[in-house]
Amino acid sequence: MKICLLYSVEMSDTRSAYELTKTLIEHGHRKIGGILKYDDMQGIARYKGLIQCMSDYGIKYDDDCIRWYSTREMEDKFGKKGLTHIYRHTRECTAMMIYNDEVARVYLEFLDERGIHVPEDVSVVSFDDAELTDNTDVKLLSAIHPKNKLGHITGNHLLRMMDDEDWQTKNYAYRFPVRINDGNSVRKIVEVNLDRKWKKEYYTNIVCYLLVNDERGINYV
């Protein structure tokens, strides 16, 4: 008898991170950094989604722009010195993916104290869609983590499995679809994309200009 080990109820952190990254890319962001947690599976999964999406879109990512922390390092990492260190490594990024909304709020406060505003100066995406009370108009663009529904469905599945003599042969797995809230923490970057024909004409004109002025004895050095 073939036993099916599909009993989990979960949301896909990898897919959620992929969709958040896709949103950033669609808004023109190419230099994307992150603050992620390395001592749990969620942090690793979110990292995988980030780099997979960037790779799929042919965008090079700088691993130095991904700043990692663990549970026991939180006090040091998110103190003034630790946050300054994070910022120094990610200051060139136009967008940041942060492990969850709680950490994101700490980082937003740090940026705000330095006159760096979200989303005007840097865009931020996060996870959990937590209801955090603060004095800012910024609502984090966040992947929704349906904790209550996760618990409800898990409980129902356990009850059904207890009443099912053949539960080992059935699929009780459930994966929540990815949902993103309506946050306003991402801005669109306007990029000037020159088509091939325009580029050719532009550089041809520059070369002709330089040649003409070279004949006139004009030195540009």
Per-domain residue ranges for the chain? 9-191
Cα–Cα distance, 64 to 66 (Å, whole number): 5
DSSP state of 3: P
Distance, in Å, from the CA atom of 146 to the CA atom of 59, rounded to the nearest integer, reads 31
Confidence band (pLDDT; 50, 70, 90) for 8?
A: low
Give the span between the Cα atoms of 118 and 99, in whole angstroms.
17
The more confident residue out of 100 and 148 is 100
The CATH code that applies to domain 9-191 is: 3.40.50.2300
| Higher per-residue confidence, 1 vs 26 | 26
Q: Which residue has the tokens 């939180």?
A: 74
Q: What is the pLDDT of residues 67-121, one digit of tens each?
A: 999 999 999 999 999 999 999 999 999 999 999 999 999 999 999 999 999 999 9
Token digits for 110? 């740090």
